[in-house]
Amino acid sequence: MRFKLQIGLTMIELLVVLAIMGILAAIAAPSFLSLINSTQQNSTMTLLINDLNRARGEAIKRNQRMLVCQRTTDTSCGGGNNWQNGWLVCTDSDEDGTCDAATTSAPNPIVDRTAINSSLTLILAGSNALVRYNPDGTQGTGNAVTLTLDGTWTGHTAVVAHIAGTGSISKTP
């Protein structure tokens, strides 16, 4: 008696495997999307804190005031508290609260960050619409400033950068 060896899958077996994969993908997709959003939020906050630290370091190194402000164009600061369009780090040697004009030997701004992801909001709270670092590394007027990076997805947690009057930066959570 001869036996016929069957190789491969039947159509029904293939459909069952595809159905199981579809169900598992549907269960995993919301968690994966939340992971992507929170990673973007953490990356944006890390970038912001790095730029704040750079502005503080540049103020000390250059012995002149540095600004971190809401970006309205590639070279100018806005006066609002919504930093959704990004931010600038620039010199303010005349201390008028605006970015100095760029020269060939001193480009300005030194950092130009474009708009953040649309699923995020970045709001500055404090008495000023910008963060100023003095040549001694202190923050502007001496008042504390907070930048809150919030998400628009379900289950998000706001991340807050606190800039003390001394210039030190902390993050919660």
CA atoms within 13 A on the CB side of 97: 7
Give, as one character, the DSSP assignment of residue 171: E
CATH-assigned architecture of domain 12-172 = 3-Layer(bab) Sandwich (3.55)
Mean pLDDT, to the nearest integer, of 36-63? 96
pLDDT band of 153, cuts 50, 70, 90: confident
Omega of the bond leading into 107 within 30 degrees of 0 (cis): no
> What pLDDT digit, counting tens, does each position of 94-151 carry?
988 889 998 888 889 999 999 999 999 999 987 678 999 999 999 987 688 999 999 9
Please indicate, yes or no, whether the overall pTM of this predicted structure exceeds 0.75.
Answer: yes
Return the structure tokens found at 171: 């993050």
Q: What percent of the chain has pLDDT over 70?
A: 98
